[in-house]
Amino acid sequence: MRVPLALLVVLLLARSVAADPPELVVIVNAENQVKMTPEYLEGLFLKKERFWGGSAPVIALNAPPDHPGRREFDRVVLGMSAETAASYWIDARIRSGSAPPKEVADPALIVRLVVKLKGAIAYVPATTAVAGVRVVGRIKRGKWMTP
């Protein structure tokens, strides 16, 4: 069976687009002046760091586990696959009663929550409008970058 050249090109382009991990921006409330590092971000999302500078509680917001941005965030920031991250939270819940960050599916809702909640931190696709929040980092092509 011969595949028409045009169809082959479309299929190859679709495959390369699907294979590219999404670019993400890490956002905090506009009043939060934190200097973010990947290590600090990891501690916030694994709930090893529970307060901003020792005072305001951290409110970490995650995308759902099946979201491509979540998989990229877990891989780059936490150094975990989706399965490993799920196991981490099962173990944390059993050992210390610690629950994973709240999951919010809609990036626009995530931004609105970060605007309203002083202790919030989250990540959204870089294509999301982020007015009213502060971008503290980027995840692009599988790497952490400063804004």
**R_g over Cα of the chain:** 17
Got the DSSP string for 82-110?
HHHHHHHHHHHHHHH-PPPPEE---HHHH
The pLDDT tens digits for 47-76 are 999 999 867 899 999 999 999 999 999 999
Ordered domains of the chain (ranges, CATH): 21-145 (3.40.190.10)
Please, which pLDDT band fits residue 16 given cuts at 50, 70 and 90? very low
